[in-house]
Structure 1
Amino acid sequence: MSQVHNSSTAAALQQQIRDRSIEEAIQLLVAAYPGAVTFSTSFSYEDQVITDIIQTHEFPVSLFTLDTGRLFPETYSTWSRTLEFYKTSIKAYYPDAQALSDYIETNGPNAFYDSPELRSACCTIRKVIPLKKALAGNAIWITGLRAEHSPARHDLTPIEWDAANQIIKYHPLLHWTTEEVKQYIHQKAIPYNPLHDKGFVSIGCAPCTRAIKPGEDFRAGRWWWEDNSKKECGLHSHEPKKTAEA
């Protein structure tokens, strides 16, 4: 397959993986783009499932994570346990030291609480820019996005074109339920973040994440001081209507 990839390629790939298992889909992607398939993990429930699939089948997929510098201790512990469990390596990407220093010197260490603009700027430094470095040279980005996590993700297709990062994204667990994810984790005794047992659903930086209360939306625990419509950090942009048909 040609190494030129765009929204049309994403649509074609979506048709090719239709009705295939996750394992079959990943096998197709790594065959089509050898050495150019990568997976981003934040050590969430979903990401631990995908890591297990990749490691169990020894797929030639690189693994990386974004260390923002403000993750929970439990996240770092899960990271360490994952490395030990799978005897693997996960490349870490970090914020640019000078950019972070300038931001904190100008605005303070907790300026993200002050305005949506300052919060977005913090996310850009700590996550968005490091992500672009991590994705460079890759054609396929595997993610742990699920439709249940956000209304904005309900219309996504498993494969989509990410114009912002110029890469094809594959969401293998897009239509999995929370119970299916948990069942997989517990059946295989996979290490997972203990914060999930304390009401944390979407786990990011410690100052910007809290447990959700009964009946609250999945995203209620992220940037809870902001309007719901703004609850994305910039890592994921979607064009579901322009990529592939379900």
Structure 2
Amino acid sequence: MNADELQQLQQQLAGAKPRAVLRAALERFDNIAISFSGAEDVAVIDLACAIRQDIQVFTLDTGRLHGETYRLLEEVRKRYPIRLRVMFPDPAGVEAMVREKGLYSFYDDGHSECCRLRKVEPLKRALAGLDAWITGQRRDQSVDTRQDLPEVQLDPAFSTPEHALVKFNPLAGWTSRQVWDHIEAYDVPYNALHRRGYTSIGCEPCTRPILPNQHEREGRWWWEDGGKKECGLHVGKADKA
């Protein structure tokens, strides 16, 4: 897809409903996959499978997920006609970090290094062979990093001059309430931790339930700046250092 075609598609899909965005994505790209980790992503899978079956789906197993998350992965794999690919971090890099700094170094020096090894690098491998990918991101998940999220874009983090990667965000305009309305209406599987106050669920050491009136991302990396709740998967090149 060239720049003019992408711009035309952006104009066409601006403000479009999730099904329209997904239909456009799946009709234009065969070599496309859905990224799966949270409740939004399962809602996307549920919507997408009504359009096309045998869709590629990938997820990142960091090695530090909750048991409830692993059970959700298996439930989704059995429930939907998808091809689920589980990506793992390079063990040598993780071993070196743990050997040098221990298992909880991110509490002292920030989560960037651990997320890079356990999430960003496996994601790069997952995306390397794709022409496009689909996420469950929403604009209201972060007023600092996602407020301008479009329904379709040239991926700002993982596109290169040699590999133009298109990124679709069908739930960009949805709220959390709309996601959960869909989950409840269509009996979509979700992580059992949501029933215990967890809203945004990542690795076990870096995720906790939120308190009343806290933003949904406050349970992630709570010891860090509240305006920078990203792990490097969905930011621009200038923000990934």
Fold agreement, TM-score > 0.5: yes
Within 5 Å, which residues of 2 pair with 1:205-216? Answer: 205-216=203-214
Q: Structure 1 residues 9, 60: CA separation in 2 closer, same or farther (over 3 Å shift)? A: farther
**Cα deviation 1:93-143 (Å, max 9, x = unaligned):** 000011111111011011111112xx2110000000000000012121110
Task: Report the TM-score when normalising by structure 2.
Answer: 0.89
Within 5 Å, which residues of 2 pair with 1:1-246? Answer: 2=1, 5=2, 9-18=5-14, 20-34=16-30, 36-42=31-37, 44-59=38-53, 61-116=55-110, 119-151=111-143, 152-166=145-159, 167-238=165-236
| Structure 1 outlier segments of 4+, above 6 Å | none
- The one-letter amino acid paired with 2:78 is E
Provide the C-alpha distance between the structure 1 equivalents of 2:12 and 2:173, rounded to a whole number of angstroms. Answer: 18
- Comparing both chains, which one has the higher relative contact order based on Cα–Cα distances under 8 Å and sequence gaps of 6 or more? 1
Task: Report the TM-score when normalising by structure 1.
Answer: 0.87
Between 203-212 and 84-93, the greater mean CA deviation after superposition: 84-93
The number of equivalent residue pairs is 231
State the SS of the aligned residue for 1:63. strand
State the SS of the aligned residue for 1:229. coil
In the TM superposition, residue 190 of structure 1 has moved relative to its aligned partner by 1.4
Q: Structure 1 residues 198, 140: CA separation in 2 closer, same or farther (over 3 Å shift)? A: same
Structure 2 contact 33–58 (Cα < 8 Å) conserved: yes
In the TM superposition, residue 197 of structure 1 has moved relative to its aligned partner by 1.7
Q: CA RMSD in A?
A: 1.9
Identity of aligned residues (%): 39
Structure 1 segments unaligned to the other structure (5+ residues): 240-246
Structure 1 contact 38–142 (Cα < 8 Å) conserved: yes
State the SS of the aligned residue for 2:166. strand
Structure 2 contact 49–81 (Cα < 8 Å) conserved: no
Match of 2:162 in 1: none
